[in-house]
Amino acid sequence: MSRLTDLIAQAKAKDPQLGADLDREFSVLASRLPFGLNFERHRPEAVELPQRPIRKGDKVRILPPRGSTKKGDQRLWQVKAIHKATQLADLELMGAEKAEKQSVALADLVVIAEFRDTIYPGLVSTGKVHRGGDKPFHTVINSENYHALKALTFTHRRKVDAIYIDPPYNSGARDWKYNNDYVEIDDLYRHSKWLAMMERRFLLAKELLNPEDSVLIVTIDEKEYLRLGLLLEQVFPDARIQMVSTLINPANVARAGGFGRNDEYLFIVMFGNAVPLRLKLSREWVSSKGRTHTGNIRWDLLRRSGTNAERAHSPGCFYPIYIDPRTRRIACVGNPLPDGQSVADSIPELIPVLPIRRNRTEGNWQWSGATLVERMEQGRVRIGGNAKRGYVIYILKDGEFAKIQGAVPDNRERYLVWAKDFARVDCPGPSSFV
């Protein structure tokens, strides 16, 4: 490092500008961390300003012929003179070793602003839509997003509560231009260019967001989410960052040679006191499609399935439930059967149901007898099946039951089987339930 420092000092003595440039680039390299996200800060983007009148001294590009599919001349020219009578502009190629000049019609030129240029953005009203009542006012800014963010730093610095960014995903498809040219999938620097573009916008967002209580949300898919996460951590080291999945296509999108995709990702960058809060959704948010999204409350089997589903796992939950076939209601709940007993005591006119599977293996109920009786009082138990095929007992678990706690009685009765519908008889045993 000391040798490089000496060489830079020598360069400064011979060429101060060259020495300063080398010193600046050396400082960037020296400040890089050995671990983390390193990328080249590419030549800043250039943006076209099609509504900007052309003036002497402007940087311009020559547009392709109308109707042409070609990109046109991507070089930058400087306007040296404007001839109003003929509507022509005299141009000189910028940065060329050999001078090149030409005259071009003003209508065939577009003003270019590079990001290193000093820009004083302003807003021009193009229309208004008025809504009645006490509805809030909104402003839509149609602009290159960097310039829009830059303009807001003059009026909204540290005052913004939320910023949502949906950037190009850098898939290699023609969804993103850098310096007026599409970044192709085989571009060796496409990830670096994308990071350079995103970093510039994040730095502006950092100036705008309220550090006491605000949030930045960025959408992305699997092609850049790793780099994006590292970039966010580097730009916002004091923020709390979480990535969550968001479903975009329940039907899945098939991909040749790979797994199908049905989700994308959201990076949530939280500042200060910002935290996610629970939001109780109305029933209009419930989908009417799919087996588990019918829009109705889901009733589960009382007999346990999955792990710990054998009788030996919970002997106290192997007890008979007596059904009255005339009313299709639970008449009573018996005591747990002793170990080795697999047949319930009979009660006239009632049918006992035990947690025994069709293959005759013995399971257990999810609830104890006392819990079942308590939740029968809440209307969280119902009977399915019949005496010939066998009765099935369904229950509302806590999560499903919570969904209808705030419902008005007319709606609750659509889902709940009220306790008044249960007949009561004595079950065998001195400590039986119900």
DSSP string, 317-369: G---EEEETTTTEEEEE-PPPPTT--SPPP-TT-EEE-SB-TTS-B--BSS-H
Render pLDDT for 245-264 as a digit per residue (tens, 0 to 9).
998 877 777 778 888 888 89
Render pLDDT for 134-174 as a digit per residue (tens, 0 to 9).
777 788 888 778 878 888 988 899 999 999 999 888 766 55
Q: Are 371 and 434 in contact (CB under 8 A)?
A: no
279 band by pLDDT with thresholds 50, 70 and 90: confident
Backbone angles phi, psi at 195, to 5 degrees: -65, -40
- What is the pLDDT, as a whole number, of residue 165? 93
Comparing 11-15, 88-92, 101-105, 159-163, the range with the smallest average pLDDT is 11-15
Q: Report which of 52, 50, 109 is spatially closest to residue 79, judged by C-alpha positions.
A: 109
- What is the pLDDT, as a whole number, of residue 177? 56
> Integer distance in angstroms from the first to the last C-alpha of the chain?
86
Q: Are 20 and 30 in contact (CB under 8 A)?
A: no
Residue 92 burial class via C-beta count within 10 angstroms: exposed 0-12, middle 13-18, buried 19 and up: middle
Say whether 207 sits in a helix, a strand or coil.
Answer: helix
Q: Are 150 and 121 in contact (CB under 8 A)?
A: yes
Q: Are β-strands 59-62 and 177-178 bridged in parallel, bridged antiparallel, or unpaired?
A: unpaired
- What is the pLDDT, as a whole number, of residue 116? 66
Distance CA 141, CA 317 (A): 64
For residue 423, pLDDT over 50 is answered with no
Cα separation values, 79 from 60, 75, 96, 103, 352, Å: 7, 13, 15, 9, 95
Distance CA 394, CA 302 (A): 5
Which of the following CATH numbers is that of domain 145-272: 3.30.420.40, 1.10.287.70, 3.90.1150.170, 3.40.50.150? 3.40.50.150
Q: Are 353 and 302 in contact (CB under 8 A)?
A: no
Element (H, E) at 413: helix 409-415
Distance CA 347, CA 354 (A): 14
Render pLDDT for 106-125 as a digit per residue (tens, 0 to 9).
998 988 887 666 666 677 78
Looking at the DSSP bridge assignments, the partners of residue 385 are: 391
Residue % of the chain over a pLDDT of 90 = 31
Q: Are 114 and 97 in contact (CB under 8 A)?
A: no
- What is the pLDDT, as a whole number, of residue 83? 93
377: Cβ contacts below 8 Å, ≥ 6 apart? 419
Q: Provide long-range contacts, Cβ within 8 A and 24+ apart, for 287-290.
A: 290/250
Distance CA 407, CA 115 (A): 56
Higher pLDDT, 415 or 8: 8
Domain ranges of the chain: 53-114, 145-272, 300-421
Looking at the DSSP bridge assignments, the partners of residue 390 are: 386
Render pLDDT for 176-193 as a digit per residue (tens, 0 to 9).
555 545 555 555 567 788
Distance CA 163, CA 148 (A): 13
Higher pLDDT, 22 or 233: 233
Say whether 303 sits in a helix, a strand or coil.
Answer: strand
Residue % of the chain over a pLDDT of 70 = 77
Distance CA 389, CA 16 (A): 95
- What is the pLDDT, as a whole number, of residue 149? 87
Positive or negative CA dihedral for 28, 33, 34, 40? negative
Looking at the DSSP bridge assignments, the partners of residue 59 are: 78
232 band by pLDDT with thresholds 50, 70 and 90: very high
Structure tokens at 378: 């809440």
- What is the pLDDT, as a whole number, of residue 205? 95
Q: Are 232 and 218 in contact (CB under 8 A)?
A: yes
Q: Are 94 and 79 in contact (CB under 8 A)?
A: no
Does domain 53-114 fall into CATH 3.20.20.190? Answer: no
Positive or negative CA dihedral for 23, 29, 32, 34? negative
- What is the pLDDT, as a whole number, of residue 126? 82
For residue 289, pLDDT over 80 is answered with no
